[in-house]
Amino acid sequence: MIVYHFPQEAAQEASAFTVVGQDYAAGTVSGELMLVPQGALPASEFSGCIFYLDTQAPAHLPICTRTLVPETLAASFPENPVYVSSQLSGGTLRMRLENALDTFSDRLWLVIEPLTDFFPLPCPSGEGLRAPLAEMQPLCGAAPFRSEAFLCSCLPAEYEAQRGLFLFDTGETIHEKLALAAEIGIQNVLVLTRAASSSFFERNASVGAAFSPLFL
């Protein structure tokens, strides 16, 4: 499994840039991925895979067969790598990834998007509220416990006059997600930072409509 880490210092980068992958088992350098911020375009001479960081993409986003696409567009681009996020609000992460791997096989990429989400209880919509960790910590009144289903930490909390659970990732839970991905056979993983994930992922199921690409 090859792991690509979003560099913290690149959070404000305006031009496309590349990150080098690391073999999860061997610890050796392997592979290269181009990350493309909002408003930027990938370098034409780059021959590796490309990941657009802007989910509020322009109407004519250039796509080649090396561009990672969300699973909602997998059928439209049958030759492309397909990414799924580690975030979920139901079921288990293991089941989610195993099902995605069964569907997409070696096309599958996992994007680990660190959780910092508050879920009011009850939460019939399954939609959490993005809540900054620094803002939530003073509102949490108990020791965190671990969610075996989501592989994250949880805290009872009150936020915006609602009682519920604050779900968040730590370095330890990120490593647990990486270990799960390696165990079930996912070949490529991109790990975002909290700042990056706040900017780069939509919180609804309409990503296919917002991501209207032009295939080149």
- Among all chains, which residue has been given the structure tokens 């109407």? 59
Cα–Cα distance measured from residue 6 to residue 37, given in angstroms and rounded to the nearest whole number: 12
Q: At what angle do helices 93-104 and 171-184 cross, to 10 degrees?
A: 40
The 10 Å Cβ neighbour count of residue 118 is: 23
Cα–Cα distance measured from residue 197 to residue 60, given in angstroms and rounded to the nearest whole number: 23
pLDDT of residue 25: 95
Cα–Cα distance measured from residue 194 to residue 191, given in angstroms and rounded to the nearest whole number: 10
- List the 145-147 sheet strands across, edge first: 129-130, 116-120, 162-168, 152-159, 145-147
> Dihedral sign, CA of 42, 204, 104, 88?
positive
Residue by residue, pLDDT tens for the chain (216 residues) are: 999 999 988 888 899 999 999 999 999 999 999 999 888 888 888 999 999 987 655 445 678 899 999 998 899 899 999 999 998 867 899 999 999 999 999 999 999 998 888 877 766 566 666 766 666 666 555 667 889 999 998 888 777 777 888 888 889 999 999 999 999 999 999 999 865 554 444 433 333 333 323 332
